[in-house]
């Protein structure tokens, strides 16, 4: 557990030297940016996603920053895959100090009555079941050791749901709930916090009607634009490091001021 007892400079506050971070959905978008930011701050990084080749590409980038990296193929919607991911990380590094539950999915559907059981189960598996199981395993090990930080990545849809993303919104609302519950369950040595993300212009946005999004952003967002992936880094480093030593059970909106 990191507790500040003397004043620290900004570099010391955000320093992750000697730490190990595990990032799901770490091969692209926000996950890639967080993985590289943790490495730049001194951490070794485990990058996990379904496609191990994509993880290996980011792992090479981490190694280029002078840190160790491990690429792991994992479908976080599968209970046993998540257990193997945790075991692999501990076998390689002996510890996990920062866990980021970033993997997510939100498939499109034409209407609410067209949502199939398969789609519903996949959305809840990736967005809620996997983060629950991985946090339960890693959080228990953190609490039995030197503590750590768990960072969940939720969505503004969890607090402002729409009919076009209802299963996703419900799953992310559940992620908000387990953030608070696990903050109490694993405290005082493990902090559990959540980034409630707004619309970020990752590769997923390639499928958006961008002119329509830009019009909507100007009308409904205080910053009148989507976020760039690197703009999540400040919040991630804050939650991962000693800078947030008295912050747990927090839901932090990084959404450009969506109303």
3-state secondary structure of 123: helix
Give the C-alpha separation, 155 to 131, whole Å.
14
Q: 180-187 contacts: CB < 8 A, separation 24 or more? A: 180/249, 180/251, 182/135, 182/136, 182/139, 182/150, 183/248, 183/249, 184/249, 185/139, 186/139, 186/140, 186/142, 186/143, 186/150, 187/248
Give the C-alpha separation, 150 to 257, whole Å.
24
For residue 227, what is the DSSP state?
A: B
Q: Does 168 participate in catalysis according to the annotation?
A: yes
Residue of 90, 109, 120, 168 marked catalytic: 168
Give the C-alpha separation, 96 to 20, whole Å.
5
Give the C-alpha separation, 232 to 157, whole Å.
17
Assigned token pair, 29 = 């978008």
Q: Which residues of 59-84 are buried (b: 16+ CB within 10 A; e: fewer)?
A: bebbeebebebbbbbbbbbbeebbee
Q: Which residue has the tokens 């967002």?
A: 221
Active-site positions?
A: 168
């Amino acid at each position: 557990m990191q507790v500040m007892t003397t004043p620290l400079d900004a570099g010391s506050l955000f320093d992750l030297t000697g730490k190990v971070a595990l990032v799901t959905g770490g091969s692209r978008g926000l996950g890639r940016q967080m993985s590289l930011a943790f490495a730049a701050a001194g951490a070794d990084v485990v990058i996990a996603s379904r496609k191990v080749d994509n993880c290996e590409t980011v792992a090479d980038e981490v190694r280029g920053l002078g840190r160790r990296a491990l690429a792991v193929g994992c479908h976080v919607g599968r209970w046993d895959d998540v257990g193997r991911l945790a075991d692999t990380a501990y076998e390689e590094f002996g510890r996990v100090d920062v866990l980021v539950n970033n993997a997510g999915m939100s498939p499109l559907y034409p209407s609410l009555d067209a949502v199939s059981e398969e789609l519903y189960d996949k959305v809840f598996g990736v967005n809620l079941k996997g983060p629950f199981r991985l946090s339960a395993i890693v959080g228990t090990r953190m609490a039995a050791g030197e503590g750590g930080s768990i960072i969940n990545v939720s969505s503004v849809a969890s607090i402002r749901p729409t009919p076009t993303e209802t299963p996703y919104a419900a799953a992310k609302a559940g992620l908000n709930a387990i953030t608070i519950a696990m903050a109490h369950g694993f405290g005082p040595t493990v902090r559990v916090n959540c980034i409630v993300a707004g619309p970020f212009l990752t590769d997923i946005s390639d499928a958006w009607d961008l002119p329509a999004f830009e019009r909507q952003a100007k009308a409904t967002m205080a910053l009148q634009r989507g976020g760039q992936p690197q703009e999540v880094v400040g919040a991630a480093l804050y939650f991962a490091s000693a800078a947030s030593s008295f912050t747990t059970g927090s839901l932090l909106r990084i959404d450009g001021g969506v109303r």
